[in-house]
């Protein structure tokens, strides 16, 4: 389940509880979250919201309801999925053993689900990658026919000797490389968003070290 969870990150899917409409379905208990991990719960921007870098307009000492992850996320017109393999557990990153997430609606789903993709996870993936349902027709392959060849007598000539000439290999030393720019992250929360490396232009530019993008300095 954990492997599938990470594979879906690679395919571009964020955590379910960061959906743009998440506040209709869950309440984030910021006061119960470990210091330094609050950004894991920041809400994603909706498809029609202006693009921006990750930012946080804090309200109160431990309130981060106005913090945004900085990247857009689509719901694909599908319902919020408590049973998604991308949904956090209710006590993830808890500093005191209390819930960091409280559900606003009743559900029979297992949270967190690490058994496999939910039906909505599968549907979401199909919509995102425009996959079509297809039926594979069964085919019958006839058994191969074995023919026994008649014995024959062949006369084989020995091949002529092969003479090889080895040429000396000349190597030219590569010119000394010029002084390269330092490979560093210029955004504080790069490690929290490494799952969108290669997807987000902002990450590729400001998180070169985290995104292993140092060869494109």
- Copy the structure tokens of residue 185: 């992250």
Query: Does the annotation flag 5 for ligand binding?
Result: yes
d(CA 57, CA 48): 20
Query: Does the annotation flag 87 for ligand binding?
Result: no
Q: E strand or H helix at 67, and its extent?
A: strand 67-72
Neighbours of 217 (CB within 10 A): 9
CA angle (15 as vertex; 11, 19 as ends), nearest 5: 110
Q: Is 56 helix (H, G, I), strand (E, B) or coil?
A: strand
Question: How, if at all, do strands 67-72 and 43-45 pair?
Answer: parallel
For residue 49, indicate whether it is catalytic.
no
Question: How, if at all, do strands 67-72 and 26-28 pair?
Answer: unpaired
Query: Does the annotation flag 15 for ligand binding?
Result: yes
Q: Of the residues 6, 31, 47, 49, which is catalytic?
A: 6
Task: Extract the annotated binding site for Zn(2+).
Answer: 5, 9, 15
Query: Which residues are catalytic, by number?
Result: 6
Task: Extract the annotated binding site.
Answer: 5, 9, 15
């Amino acid at each position: 389940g954990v492997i599938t969870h990470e594979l879906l990150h690679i395919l571009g899917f964020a955590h379910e509880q960061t959906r743009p409409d998440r506040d209709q379905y869950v309440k984030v208990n910021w006061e119960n979250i470990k210091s330094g991990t609050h950004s894991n719960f920041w809400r994603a921007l909706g498809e029609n919201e202006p693009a921006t870098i990750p930012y946080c307009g804090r309200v109160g000492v431990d309130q981060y309801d106005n913090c945004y992850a900085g990247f857009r996320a689509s719901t694909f017109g599908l319902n919020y999925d408590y049973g998604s393999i991308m949904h956090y557990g209710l006590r993830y990153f808890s500093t005191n053993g209390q819930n960091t997430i409280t559900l606003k609606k009743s559900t029979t789903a297992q949270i967190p689900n690490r058994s496999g993709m939910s039906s909505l996870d599968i549907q979401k993936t199909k919509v995102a990658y425009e996959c079509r349902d297809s039926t594979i027709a069964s085919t019958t392959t006839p058994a191969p026919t074995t023919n026994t060849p008649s014995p024959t007598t062949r006369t084989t000539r020995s091949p002529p000797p092969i003479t090889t000439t080895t040429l000396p290999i000349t190597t030219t030393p590569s010119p000394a490389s010029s002084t390269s720019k330092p490979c560093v992250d210029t955004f504080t929360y790069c490690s929290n968003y490494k799952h969108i490396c290669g997807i987000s232009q902002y990450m590729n530019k400001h998180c070169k070290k985290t995104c292993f993008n140092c060869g494109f300095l």
